[in-house]
Structure 1
Amino acid sequence: MHSALRLVSTACTMWQIRYFHLHHVKYVWDDENASFSRLLGLEGEKYTIAQLLDHSQGLTIQEQQQKLQLYGKNVIDIEVKSYWTLFVEEVFNPFYIFQIFSVILWSLDDYYYYAGCVFVLSVISIITSLIQTKKQSLALCDLVAVSNAHTVTVSYRDGHCKIVEADLLVPGDIILIPPHGCYMTCDALLLSGNCIVNESMLTDEIYDANYHKRHTLFSGTHVIQTRFYGNNKVTAVVIRTGFSTAKGELIRSILFPKPVDFKFYSDAFKFVVMLFCVALIGMAYCIYLYVIRFADIETILLRTLDIVTIVVPPALPAAMTVGTVYSLNRLKKLKIYCISPPKINICGKVKLVCFDKTGTLTENGLDIWGVLGCENSKFHSSVVSSPLKLDVTSPLVAAMATCHTLTNIEGKLTGDPLDLTMFEATQWDLIEPGQDKNRYDMFTPTVVKPLHKEYQDKTKWVGVLDMETSEVETDLEFIGLLITQNMLKPESLPVIQELTAARIRCVMVTGDNILTAVSVARNCGMVLPNEWVIQVKAQAPDETHSSRITYKILDTTVENSYTYSDCMSIMQCEKWHFALDGKSWAAVCSHFPELLPYILTKGIVFSRMGPDQKTQLVESLQNLDYIVAMCGDGANDCGGKEEFGNHINLFQDRGLNPGPSSTEV
């Protein structure tokens, strides 16, 4: 941390800014509140969308220079410490200081072999630890370096554009997004045009990065393609730069994690203190014996201090370091990478593992299982396994070929995975026109057509453009169901069974539908065949009803209806679990907090959970003294910010960890 007093000048005035940096965040003095407050980007000004659109003219060069002095450069710099610095920090660890003391003591007492063995072991452990730490720092530095090595085109208020280094961007700058995309080096709000298929449609309300994330381009993301109309360019206003961006916040959470407060650590410290107290008793008795025997001072000191090295093993930290390094290498072979090796030591204390579903327990993609048509309000008699078996003029085929948001990028279809799977099942072609058109109402439509003949479309494109969304989505005709399946990974069932056998509780936390989640929970062994699942439905109070909570039995094997008394009967004498969605979770937390421990203890499926709710769930489980491991495959599974506390987080690039070992990412 450091503080400074800076002078920032304009053409007509000069003022002083008092600030300091803490964990790569700048705090400035606020005269109105008489306190330091965090320096925020444009979102800190509480701009409405209309006011942000007024920034579309850009800044002047002078305003940009002033803001550059205030906000600093748009870089995410990670200091890679030298080996010497890392060595000094490692050696001054209390355990290693104790080891040095022990080695010197044994050498004075002619225990050269033992002292030499401990010394060599300690040196090996220190060198290994330094190499691992250095590698982690370099890997993290390389990870963020992509944000610091680009140029961008900035549009100024006088109308001219200039290519500048990305590190010179400041909040308020208007940047042009190139047609073939780019890597974002800042957080920016899309003002005109669209990126891929997300067109910016904004209302006049206070800008919030979370609420307007569909219109925000975040640092570190890759814009693959842009679209614009006429002579208009795709523009965005810079909202945040450097460590204030979403990517910068994630890096800060890695560099400065929330202090760990596991009971394991406090118990270990108490154990060492207890050993030291035992050593003090032994030292006192030893001094008494040597004094009454009239031993010399040197003998008394050597024999007395030697007791400490016997009671508190000096080779313990070296042995633990070697064990940790060995565990790291084993985990790497399993495609599991760890950036916080000390967490490995407490993995044996894990009592509960939270699993994401899609991409973790199940495969990433979806497969078409079949289509079921409907005519005259009646389903067809059987499911058709492939859309190719339907007539090419079938409304189902037409819907699958047109009701999506896919786009062609460099000859490859890109878009929502479900849309892509659905369209590819038809084996049709998608042909897109050129992007730069003089008039929006003359835009040539995207054409889809079958391969083996041409599909004739009678709808006029201009007429479709003039239609309101509500008009399009009114009086629709139900023509059938598209049935997809999300296959369970082959390693999921053995992992769940192994964790269950070790009496480690398994919980699913997913953003998917609750019925899908329960079905996967049964398939992977979280819910056994003889166990019931009861859905908790909690509702916040509204104008017509007070807050209330109900229970519903989810039975995917038979078609039965159950009463409330059936639920109560099952909860009294059968094996059962709770399941609830994100909406009910929020209502329980707000209006039924007294039921929260009960639901957490018996809950097994938490569906439709957002990233913040996943964080809240883990922290609530920790409040019940669970040591929680979280296994996921995305940033939304790790909380991403500093408030996410003491849990172990498992991430892997392929499959699941085939055992109960745990690491933290």
Structure 2
Amino acid sequence: MHKHRYVGLDSDAVLKSRKEFGNNILTIKKRDSIWLKLFAKFADPLIIVLLIAALLSALISCYEYWHLHSSVSIFIEPLGILFAVLLATGLSFLFELKAEKEFDILNQVNDDEAYEVIREGSVQQVPKKDIVVGDIVIIEAGCEIPADGVLLESVHLIVDESSLTGESSCRKTVDHAQFDKNATYASNMVFRGTKVLVGHAIYTVQTVGDATENGKVFESTQIDNSTKTPLNEQLFKLSAFITKMSYIIALIIIASRCIRFFTDAGDNWTLIEFVTYFLRSLMLSVTVVVVAVPEGLPMAVTLCLAYSMRRMIKSNNLVRKLHACETMGATNVICTDKTGTLTKNQMEVSSVVFYGLPHEQDLNDSEFSFYVKEGVSVNCTAQLDFSGDTPRPLGNPTESALLLWLFKHGVYYIDYRNDAKVINEIPFSTEYKFMAVEVLSGCGKRILYVKGAPEIIYGMCSHYPNGLDWSSFDAKIKSFQEDSMRTLAFAYKVLDPHEMAIDQTTIVAKDIHFMGFVAIEDAVREDVKDAVRSCRDAGIDIKIVTGDNPITTRRVAQEIGLWTDEDNDLSMMTGPEFEALSDDELIHRSDSLKVVARAKPQDKKRLVECLMKRGHVVAVTGDGTNDAPALKAAHVGLSMGSGTGVAKEAGDITILDDSFASIRKAVMWGRSLYLNIQRFLLFQLTVNLAACLVVLISSFMGSGTLLNVTQMLWVNLIMDSFAAVAFASIPPQDNLMKQHPRDRKQFIITPKMGTLIGIMGAVFAVSLLSCYAFFLHTDIEPGAFSNIFNYTWRDFSRGEITPYEHSLFFNIFVLLQFWNMLNAKAFLSGGSAFRFKGCKGFLLIWALVLIGQIVIITFGGEVFHVCSLSIEDWVITLILTFPVVAIGELVRIVQKHSL
């Protein structure tokens, strides 16, 4: 394609251009200030409810201080509520700031995508963000254009400008005679964010970053991190249900306490006493609502997503669309490419057969050798980057292998490109499976070079080496293909002065000479076999859909353990056979298929749609522009990191290392994310149920407030903010990939979870009420709780418990939840609750809960209505509550051995 030798910018010119015009980065829209975000937290309905509770408490305290002459300590409770509000709000604010930083990765990651740029006379790979005004950029089919500029050269260039103008197919050219006068933009202009559909070109950059046309509309295209996923919507419905139930419980508490007030007071009550009692009841019911409503759910989801996204990036999975995180956990079919995903995509020429060479590796100075070297060099879109110690391939791996083969034999491909003038060409297409270029050769002749699938190239030739016939040639090609090698054949024709070679996308030249072929090997990745086995053990079907030939594809399927001796012809299909099936026939056969070879782009999309109609949750991999329809159609599109911009735009997750092993990790993280949210719900709803039952039942019993406002707010902080962080940080466990995929429509609260929540909540409530009754009917002196089994039960109740006993009761309540965190952590883990490998985050939060409880009991005083406990008291309460996790461990051991 190169008609000129371009030098490009040197390092000094790059720095000068960047200083004058800026980086090629789109500025993220200005966000609200930190203070505005903090103040916005107080607009939350639940925070408003808490503030109302603090106001009610303050009013009661004022009345008791000025009218009943209580001490100034009466104001400790409203101050304690206010402190708890500030603490909960502050933690939530900090967690959301952290999550926001994680989401920023999604808006910035594309800036690191590499592009081929000519600088200092050499082709180099440069990140998009480092491209500057004046750079000369090489673009080809499937490439997303990195900056606005003017074409220097173009060949059959068609660009999708729908993101700017709505026009999905714009022909671009440097020939002014072919300019479209009605086009929105000049026909020799290309723009950032648009995509090359066909052809290739070289252009010089005119504007970068915010100055580009794409930059002017960037605000509307930024990723919205507030997007609701199906999981979010399910959790919000759960929250709404629990909220309604909590309001009902709150009303019952108010009504029962009012009835109790009138029953106990008889005719001896005053309006002031009733108002005070009613306000306290209202405050208590408000606190119950705060505790019962799982306001930590949205934060738990956000933290799980943020944590999973960050860890998935480390395992080479860049999540571009939020729903993909959770959906990967439900995936039960993966339609994968072969090249680059199952194989290394590091092509190397293994065997060379050019029939005009004395030896297959001998690139001598003969005329035929010149045709080989020039033909390979000019009929090729790949490049080599010589800026390092060794040449680095850029572009198509198969074509790069040919250039590396030339370099290995002392041939510098760029010399042949610079000496030859391209007259016309046909870019490679999966439709016709060849590419061709007509050049004014460096030897002064006009020559046509053709390269492509062996059967296609052989068929268009009329001159063959002596003794070469189709049967012997086909047998040799198949022998290479059976060893999983890709074969490419070559042909040429020295054209007569007025002979026409190419007409649009058709070769019209006659008497073409067959030159020979090469076999190129792309070995299977070392980790793919284990990854495929792991996915199949996890109940996930793997299907290879590729444009490669059936023999090579089946050999790869055998190597990775997908194709077994039990498979037959029904397990594999070619593109023409696939196309001949009706939709009903294909739906019927889709489950049994393992390999679809010689597939066209629409074949992959059709297979995905049929599998989805069968009720499967489908993930599909793709790296080319032609994969975009299938990537969009699937539940999860997995684009390859080395793929085209179009494929990445259509995908939901980008596999940065192109490896199938990374896809397995994406499945594992998706399952882990969902399970961690279930664990959080199991823990939180158990606490909710226990707290509500204790307060509700005690209101009917006429007992005093078993848990006061500040104590309940501390409990709320534990189960919301702390628990959300703790459970979000639990890493995936191996047993996740031994389970079958979940039903995506399944309600997140499974029957097993519902049973556990009901049983544990009821057990906690009964245990706590029994504990309270024990304190009412015994006299426990401070520091003497260790003699718990020596106390005498009295037939009468003292009516209320002492501050010391209340501290014991509160401590027991919190420690029950403390130990139950381990039970929730071990839910569906298949292991012990005390296995903390990889759970440093959880262990830290778990320890902080205990430390926080010690601080509150020791120094909380009148704020939390507690008094300090002795070391013996702590040991006894820890021992009394430990059976919560001990019994859980016993149940898990029994269940494990019964399987």
- In which range does the TM-score fall when normalised by the shorter chain? 0.5 to 0.7
Relative to structure 2, which stretch is displaced further, 305-314 or 630-639?
Answer: 630-639
In the alignment, the residues of structure 2 paired with residue 339 and residue 602 of structure 1 have an alpha-carbon distance, to the nearest angstrom, of 19
Which residue pairs with 1:126 in the alignment?
Answer: 93
CA contact (8 A) 2:573 2:595 kept: yes
2:630 to 617, 641, 646: 617
* Aligned-pair CA distance for 1:282: 1.7
Indicate the SS of the match to 1:478. Answer: strand
8 A Cα contact 2:317 2:655, kept in partner: yes
**Aligned equivalents of 2:617, 2:595: Cα separation in 1:** 6
Letter in 1 for 2:377: H
The 1:248–1:571 alpha-carbon spacing in structure 2 relative to 1, beyond 3 Å, is same
Identity rate, percent: 16
- Tell me the amino acid that sits aligned with residue 290 of structure 1: R
Query: What whole-Å deviation, never above 9, does each CA across 1:72-127 have from its counterpart, x for those lacking one?
Result: xx995432425427725973785xx4256448748977498899678646534422
Q: Give how far 1:292 is off.
A: 1.3
Q: Distance in 2 between matches of 1:466 and 1:199?
A: 25
Given the alignment of the two structures, is residue 432 of structure 1 paired with residue 415 of structure 2, yes or no?
yes
Counterpart pick for 2:240 among 270, 273, 279: 273
Q: 1:597 to 1:298 in 2, by over 3 A?
A: closer
Paired with 2:415 and 2:109, the residues of 1 have a C-alpha distance of: 37
Offset, 1:358: 3.8
Is residue 630 from structure 1 mapped to residue 638 from structure 2 by the alignment? Answer: yes
Cα distance, 1:132–1:511 mapped onto 2, change above 3 Å? farther
Q: Distance in 2 between matches of 1:444 and 1:421?
A: 23
In the TM superposition, 1:521-560 aligns within 5 A as 521-532=557-568, 533-535=571-573, 537=575, 548-549=580-581
Whether contact under 8 Å (2:394, 2:400) holds in the other structure is yes
Report deviation, 1:180: 9.2
Give distance in 1, aligned partners of 2:319 and 2:87. Answer: 26
Map 1:186-585 onto structure 2 (within 5 A). Answer: 186=148, 188-189=150-151, 217-219=190-192, 244-245=213-214, 253-256=221-224, 260=228, 262=230, 264-294=231-261, 296-338=277-319, 344=325, 348-372=329-353, 387-388=360-361, 399=372, 402-405=375-378, 416-426=396-406, 427-430=409-412, 432=415, 468-470=500-502, 474-508=510-544, 519-532=555-568, 533-535=571-573, 537=575, 548-549=580-581, 575-577=592-594, 579=596, 583=600, 585=602
Letter in 2 for 1:286: I
* Shift in alpha-carbon separation, 1:333–1:576, aligned structure 2, 3 A: closer
Amino acid at match of 1:404: S
Q: CA RMSD in A?
A: 6.3
One-letter amino acid matched to 2:399: D
Structure 1 pair 330–621 and aligned structure 2 pair: CA distance change class (3 A): closer
Deviation at 1:528, TM superposition (A): 4.7
The whole-number CA distance in structure 2 between the counterparts of 1:521 and 1:278 is: 55
SS in 2 for 1:79: coil
Using the TM superposition, give the Cα deviation of residue 204 of structure 1 relative to its aligned residue in structure 2, in angstroms: 5.1
What do residues 515-538 of structure 1 show as CA deviations (whole Å, max 9, x unaligned)? 655554454445555334332656
Q: Gaps (5+ residues) in structure 2?
A: 1-23, 58-76, 115-132, 140-144, 158-171, 195-199, 262-273, 424-438, 446-492, 674-899
Q: Distance in 2 between matches of 1:139 and 1:404?
A: 38
Q: Structure 2: how far apart are the matches of 1:481 and 1:491?
A: 31
Task: Tell me if the contact between 1:496 and 1:525 (Cα under 8 Å) persists in the aligned partners.
Answer: yes
Shift of 1:367: 1.5
- Give the drift of 1:137: 4.0
8 Å contact from structure 1 (residues 577, 602) kept in 2: no
Alpha-carbon distance, 1:366 to partner: 0.7
Following superposition, the deviation at residue 136 of structure 1 comes to 5.1
Query: Which moves more between the two structures, 462-471 or 359-368?
Result: 462-471
Matched position secondary structure for 1:313: coil
Tell which structure's C-alpha radius of gyration is larger: 2
The one of 648, 655, 658 equivalent to 1:651 is 655
**1:76 and 1:243 in contact (8 A); partners too:** no
Is 1:84 equivalent to 2:101 in the alignment? Answer: no
Residues 1:134 and 1:486: Cα distance change in structure 2 (over 3 Å):
same
How far apart in 1 are the matches of 2:669 and 2:654?
7
User: As a proportion of its length, which structure holds more strand?
Assistant: 1
Higher helix share: 2
Alpha-carbon shift at residue 492 of structure 1 (Å) = 2.7
In 2: Cα distance, 1:620 partner to 1:102 partner: 46
Contact 1:356/1:509 (8 A) holds in 2: yes
Deviation (angstroms), 1:310: 3.5
Quote how far apart the aligned CAs of 1:486 are.
Answer: 1.8
Partner Cα distance (2:604, 2:637) in 1:
25
Contact 1:615 1:638 in 2 (8 A): yes
Matched to 1:579, the amino acid is V
| Residues 133-152 of structure 1: pairs in structure 2 closer than 5 A | 133-134=100-101, 137=104, 140=107
- The 3 A distance-change label for structure 1 pair 320 and 487 is same
Match of 1:98 in 2: 46
Alpha-carbon distance between aligned partners in 1 of 2:572 and 2:421, rounded to the nearest angstrom: 58
Deviations 1:354-413 (A, max 9, x none): 5454444332321222235669xxxx9xxx9x9437988696896366333267887868
Q: Structure 2 vs 1, CA of residues 274 and 345 (structure 1 numbering), >3 Å: closer, same or farther? A: same
C-alpha contact 2:54 2:82 (8 A) present in aligned 1:
yes
Name the SS for the 2:377 alignment partner.
coil
Q: Which digits, 9 at most, give the CA deviation of each residue in 1:556-609, with x for residues without a partner? A: xxxxxxxx9xx99x969x9544637664836996xx9996756896999999x9
Can you list the C-alpha shifts for 1:323-377, whole angstroms capped at 9, x where unaligned?
Answer: 44543453344344456678646654444445454444332321222235669xx
Seen in structure 2, the aligned counterparts of structure 1 residues 208 and 124 have a Cα distance that, compared at 3 Å, is farther
Q: Is the 8 A contact 2:619 2:634 kept in 1?
A: no
Q: Distance in 2 between matches of 1:615 and 1:142?
A: 20
Separation in 2, partners of 1:265, 1:329: 19
Q: After TM superposition, list the pairs within 5 Å mapping 1:58-77 onto structure 2.
A: 76-77=26-27
Q: State the match for 1:23 in structure 2.
A: none
Letter of the structure 2 residue corresponding to residue 371 of structure 1: V
Residues 1:582 and 1:252: Cα distance change in structure 2 (over 3 Å): farther
Q: Partner amino acid for 2:400?
A: L
Number of matched residues? 490
3-state DSSP of counterpart to 1:368: strand
Q: In structure 1, the residue corresponding to 2:286 is in which secondary structure?
A: helix
Alpha-carbon distance in 1 for matches of 2:49, 2:288: 13
Q: Tell me, what secondary structure is at the counterpart of 1:78?
A: coil
Change (3 A) 1:300 1:243: farther
